[in-house]
Each structure stands twice: as C-alpha cells, then as structure tokens.
Amino acid sequence: MSSDEQKTNQQWGGRFNEPTDAFVARFTASIDFDKRLYAQDIRGSQAHARMLNKVGVLSDEELKAIIEGLDQIRGEIERGEIDWSIELEDIHMNIEARLTDRIGITGKKLHTGRSRNDQVATDIRLYLRDEIDLLLAEITRLQQGLLEVAEREADTIMPGFTHLQTAQPVTFGHHLMAWFEMLSRDYGRLSDCRARLNYSPLGAAALAGTTYPIDRAYSAELLEFSAPTANSLDSVSDRDFAIEFCAAASLIMTHLSRMSEELVLWTSAQFDFIDLPDRFCTGSSIMPQKKNPDVPELVRGKSGRVNGHLIALLTLMKSQPLAYNKDNQEDKEPLFDTVDTLKGCLRAYADMVPAIQSKGEQMREAARRGFSTATDLADYLVRKGMPFRDAHEVVGKAVALGVKTGLDLAEMELAQLQQFSDTITSDVFDVLTLEGSVNARDHIGGTAPAQVRSAVATARAQLAARA
C-alpha cells in the first residue's frame, strides 16, 4: 500500500485510528462519476458562502477569497488541470480540499452549517434542473420538425391500423400529429417534475438542520429555487425527484420506441412507406443491397436501458430508513446515464424527423388494398335509416365478395353492392373513395386534411408560448 493510499481522509478522519483500506477507498469513492456535478457544486458552495456572510459567519474578506477561489477552481476543472483524488472520495471533498490549498484556513470555513448530505442533494437538484431545461428544448425541437412534416403531408393518405391490420384511411400528417401529442404530454411531465424538484435542501445539514443562524430562504433565492424544502430529514434522504424524472424519461423513451417501431416497419420492403436519409442508416457487411434503419432500431433498444434505470432507483430507495444512507451514492450513475441516453435519443430524432420522405403512392395503395372504407359504407347505410348491426352485416358480405373477387369496395359495380342491400345508390361512391373517407372526418381531432392543418397551426402557437 502506498503512502497516499494509507492516508486517512482529513475532511472526516479525526475519529478513526487506522486508514481506510485501499480497496474500500476505491470501492466507496464516487469521484469517477460525480465529478460531472462540479459546476453545480461550485454554484451551491458560492451561494452557501454568500448566505454565511449575510448572517455574519464569514467576513467580507473571507467571502471574497472563497468566491474567487471557487471561480479559479472551476476554470482549472474546465481546462482539465485538476487531478482528482480517490482518497477524497467525491466531488465535494475534492473541491473543498483544492480550495483550502488555494486560500488556506478560510477554505475550511466554507462547510460551516452544512453537510455533504444536503450538499449532494442540492447539487443533484441543480444538475437535474439544468438537464431538464436542455431536454425540454430538444423535445420542442423534435416537435417543430414533426409539424413541418405533418403540414407537408396533410393530404397524404395512408392506412390506419389496429392490430397492425388495415383499419381506416388516415393522413400521414394526422399520424405524425399523434406523435406530437405524445411528446406534448412528455413535455408536461418533465415540466411538472422540474417544478417539484425546484426546492432547496441546502441548510438541512446532515439530517436535523444546524445550530448556526442560517438563512435558507436567501440561499434558495440565490440558487433560483422556489423555496427551501420544509423538512430536514426528508431533504437529505429522498430521491423521489430523480425517480420521477426517470419515470418521465421512461415514458418518453416508450414513445420514441413506438415511433421507432413504426419507422422500422415503414422503411421495410414489405411496407415501403417512407425513406430515411442515408446519414441515419447503415449498410450490411455482407449484403450490399441493405439500408438498415439503425437510428430507430437503437433508440428502440435504448428504451430498455432507461426502463432498467427506473427500476434500479425504485429498488434503491424502497427499504431505506430515514435519513441519509450510503446506498444513495448509487443514485447518480443510473440518473446520469438516463439523462445522457434520453438527450442523445431526442437529438437523433430531432435531427432525423424533418428529413423523412413519404412514398405517397405506396401508402395510398396500401390503404386501398385493405377495405379501409368499410366503416364508411356502414355509416352510409346508417344515415339511410338502416340499424348499425344490420349495416355491419351488409358490409361484411360486401367485403367477403371483395376478398373473393380481388376488388376493393370502391372498385365494385353498383349492382354488385346492391345485391346486399337496395338501400345502396350511386351516391355511395362519394364515401367509398379514400379522399371521401378522410375528408368526411372533419372535426376536432379528426384525420381530414383541413383538421390536420388546423391542428398544426394550434400546435405552433403552443410551441411559441413556451418561449
């Protein structure tokens, strides 16, 4: 064991009579992953120092030394000049030790009235708040891309599916607006999560608060939190805000995975509905004809990764007594990876979606082949006075004839349709066309091109209001 490995951590080692085992030091250290919190840790420490100065614990000179010292350390970190120490365990101790090296004993006064417990809880909230803001911007960018394509494809007819069987004709623009609505709810969930986490644990100290005359409202204001948290035990011990974020992230990834599944299907030779640009695809090492939709496939796969992180955090918290436990060191890696994964997937989709090219003729032919206007024929008969169940039977017989003859309903002769009901007259062909079907659904939320364009306009106003 080297002399460095034999050192006791001077930040907390006074009670100990022997150094930490070298393996245990490495096993319990978190600096390798929590160093990404450096900016939030420095910001929180500067706010804490300003609060200590306000209540008379630090002098103006001491505050100036701490603020300037932390600014210099931030610069060193960003320039890659810091050698992180495992013996100092985490980002908090590494920065504090570096500050003390720089400004002397004044650096040791920074930790007055706080603990690593409230410090890390504050850092994670600040970090997650920053990341949520970036993720919300990426969701908005993706939605803007969807609106571009949806407006362009407002008249493009495709089959709508249930059970992956042709159901009724819809427009491609309408389908993409369904994706938009999913993402709008995702945006709302992330916004709600941000509001709930935006409370400051700083000043809760280890678990019971502190005897110093701190001003928690002031430090919360400096850090742009809504208010201080209300209970010191709860402040340091729960990570429900991180779990809530991962739950929202899992839902976003579920939506992106469903979109991915459709893109994979639509780019296949069997569907051939759309084309994705080459830059979002790859080829095969053995089959020269292949163009694989790797980005959607990988996003679909990464949904399992994010779901796993949610379960990991739920399991991490489920049996912990109040207040803080070392278990909570395990909150960061799942959270960080969830943030990174979600951010990457949203970026990929925001870049890719505007470049989707539809193949309108193939979409239209697929809608034509599946008797997708059968419900329109039933509705036509009901409007003529026939009970719906009787209309359902009539249309079923007409479809059976279509299956036998290879004719779509719109391709049949009037006489062929009239053998099932003399209620049918020549005006039936106004509703049996694909255009007639989609145009007839001209109400809020319907697939009619006019409604798609109206939905796009409303959605653009919603996005503009976010700014």
Which residue would you say has higher pLDDT here, 159 or 4?
159
Is the separation of the CB atoms in 69 and 77 below 8 Å? no
Contacts 24+ apart (CB under 8 A), 307-313: 307/250, 307/253, 307/254, 309/246, 309/249, 309/334, 309/335, 309/337, 309/338, 310/243, 310/246, 310/247, 310/249, 310/250, 310/338, 313/239, 313/242, 313/243, 313/246
pLDDT of residue 9: 56
Q: How large is the average pLDDT for residues 262-269?
A: 96
- Exactly one of 59, 226, 268, 284 is catalytic; name it: 284
Our answer to whether residue 48 is catalytic in this structure is no
20: pLDDT strictly greater than 80: no
232 sits in which H/E element:
helix 232-237
Q: What are phi and psi of 107, to 5 degrees?
A: -60, -30
For the chain, give every residue range classified as CATH 1.20.200.10: 114-363
Percent of the chain residues past pLDDT 70, beyond the cut: 95
pLDDT of residue 291: 81
Protein fold of 370-463: Ribonucleotide Reductase Protein R1; domain 1 (1.10.40)
pLDDT in tens, 244-255: 999 999 999 999
Q: How, if at all, do strands 227-228 and 199-200 pair?
A: parallel
Residue 171 bridge partners (DSSP): 157
pLDDT in tens, 397-455: 999 999 999 998 989 999 999 999 999 999 999 889 999 999 999 999 999 999 999 99
For the chain, give every residue range classified as CATH 1.10.275.10: 20-107
Is the separation of the CB atoms in 157 and 171 below 8 Å? yes
Tell me what percent of the chain is helix, strand and coil, each rounded to the nearest 5: 65, 5, 30
Is the separation of the CB atoms in 424 and 395 below 8 Å? no
- Exactly one of 163, 285, 319, 426 is catalytic; name it: 163
20-107: CATH, from 3.40.50.2300, 1.10.275.10, 1.10.760.10, 1.10.1060.10: 1.10.275.10
285: pLDDT strictly greater than 70: no
Our answer to whether residue 284 is catalytic in this structure is yes
pLDDT of residue 16: 56
pLDDT of residue 369: 84
pLDDT in tens, 46-93: 999 999 999 999 999 999 999 999 999 999 999 999 999 998 989 999
Q: How large is the average pLDDT for residues 16-32?
A: 74
Is the separation of the CB atoms in 192 and 136 below 8 Å? no
Q: What are phi and psi of 199, to 5 degrees?
A: -130, 140
Number of H helices, E strands in the chain: 19, 6
Q: For the domain covering 114-363, report its CATH number.
A: 1.20.200.10
SS3 category, 33 = helix
Token code pair at residue 384: 């003529």
pLDDT in tens, 194-246: 999 999 999 999 999 999 999 999 999 999 999 999 999 999 999 999 999 99
pLDDT of residue 280: 82
pLDDT in tens, 126-174: 999 999 999 999 999 999 999 999 999 999 999 999 999 999 999 999 9
3: pLDDT strictly greater than 70: no
For the chain, give every residue range classified as CATH 1.10.40.30: 370-463
Instruction: Tell me how far the alpha carbon of residue 84 is from its chain's centroid.
Output: 31
